Chains A and B, each alone.
Chain A
Amino acid sequence: DIQMTQSPSSLSASVGDRVTITCRASQTVNSFLNWYQQKPGKAPNLLIYAASILHSGVSSRFSGSGSGTDFTLTISSLQPEDFATYYCQQSYSFRTFGQGTKVEIK
């Protein structure tokens, strides 16, 4: 099984801050890496697929990069609606998610 590890598990940030979340795979997943945002009590929403392609309708302040085993999700200027939990997910072999990164208000 491919394990996905996100860091940090949580972070506190202020509106306007630049935020970076990392995701590491236990073995290569090439670019088979997707990112989701989940708000409390809601289903996750797709943000980025194939490591760096922004899903339709998602704000350009979100960006993704990486390939192989190391990936990042960056929010260029944190907005109030961005406080949520973020998950990475690999689809290279079966499907596994990272444990999530909770972005909280500082």
Chain B
Amino acid sequence: QLQLQESGPGLVKPSETLSLTCTVSGGSINSINYYWGWIRQPPGKGLEWLGSVYHSGNTHYDPSLKSRVTISLDTSKNQFSLRLSSVTVADTAVYYCVGENQQWLVRPFDYWGQGTLVTVSS
């Protein structure tokens, strides 16, 4: 049973870079069965997928955020990370790290972290 846990600053200033890390336990991020990704949810609003990374380093990102998002792996620590540059108040949200199951063609998100609130404010 996989467990995912987000960590990182809860407050980021406008124009700076948001950085979060997800620690995976109960399994390896080198698994061929999972993509690892990030989803966010602004307060009181819906879910938005940011992007995902595979153990090979292959990534795919939401086209509307692609210029600002970087997702990477640290296999030595069994972690993956999110960097979102040039943030504005619109990037204030709960950020979830997720496991995207590649064993099924439809690739559902079947593992989620508990989420971490990041507020963008000066």
Contacts and interface: CB of A to CB of B under 8 A. Distances in A.
A13 B50 CA distance: 33
Contact of B63 (A33, A44, A87, A94): A94
A72 interface: no
Given A99-B46, A100-B46, A1 B108 contact: no
Contact size class for A? 20 to 34
Interface residues of B, number: 21
A20 interface: no
Given A1-B63, A31-B106, A50-B105, A43 B113 contact: yes
Interface in B83-108: 96, 104-108
A94 B83 CA distance: 19
A95 interface: yes
A89 B107 CA distance: 11
Interface of A: 1, 31-34, 36, 42-46, 49-50, 55, 87, 89, 91, 94-100
Interface of B: 46-49, 52, 60, 62-64, 96, 104-110, 112-115
